[in-house]
Amino acid sequence: QRSPPLAKHHKDFARELMDFIELGSFSRVIVLTSSDAALRGDAMIDGPQIRSLTVNCEDVLANKLRELSLSSLGSGYAQTTKDSEALPLKHLHAAGVAKPLLKLCQAAKLPVIALVALVFEGDNVHDAINLANATNSLLDIVPTTQKWCPPQSWQWLMAANNAPSEMF
């Protein structure tokens, strides 16, 4: 999320999202988030930079997630859990509203799948495309032959020296 809620209001925003989810009678929630790769543990340095977590979810989609061979968020952690104490949320760094939302979904016994991109500060367009590809592999949203097109607003994110002067 490029425009996060105000500092110290993540829990409030997660509660508002959960109210919306409950009002809409969602059968499942899919959370896409990132985590600061600079703060990950040594066990997460190698391997895929997209990690997964499922909570209260044992269905076709959870099985498909296992087939994708994405590593789980925490090392030595079972991919699916119902126990809030077992949630490896200590591995989510600078993940905004994701932590409180995952806790609320778990408490409500709502099936949730989280895809977590381990990213560094900087130009994250490639990371966003990798997360979109992982999401598409899970949900079959668009044909895999289709190429993702980043929004125009991302064009000058990290290139202030080359950006049109009117932007600043």
CB atoms within 10 A of CB 15: 15
CA distances from 42 to 24, 74, 91, 96, 117 (A): 40, 11, 11, 22, 16
pTM of the predicted model as reported, rounded to 2 decimal places: 0.76
In order along the chain (168 residues), what is the average pLDDT of each group of 10 residues? Answer: 65 94 94 81 67 81 78 52 55 77 91 87 84 90 84 71 55
Alpha carbon distance 78, 71 (integer Å): 10
Q: pLDDT tens, 44-59?
A: 666 668 888 888 877 7
Query: Biggest alpha carbon distance in the chain?
Result: 52
Confidence at residue 108, expressed as pLDDT on a 0 to 100 scale? 93
Q: pLDDT tens, 10-32?
A: 889 999 999 999 999 999 999 99
CATH code of the region 10-167: 3.40.50
Alpha carbon distance 111, 85 (integer Å): 16
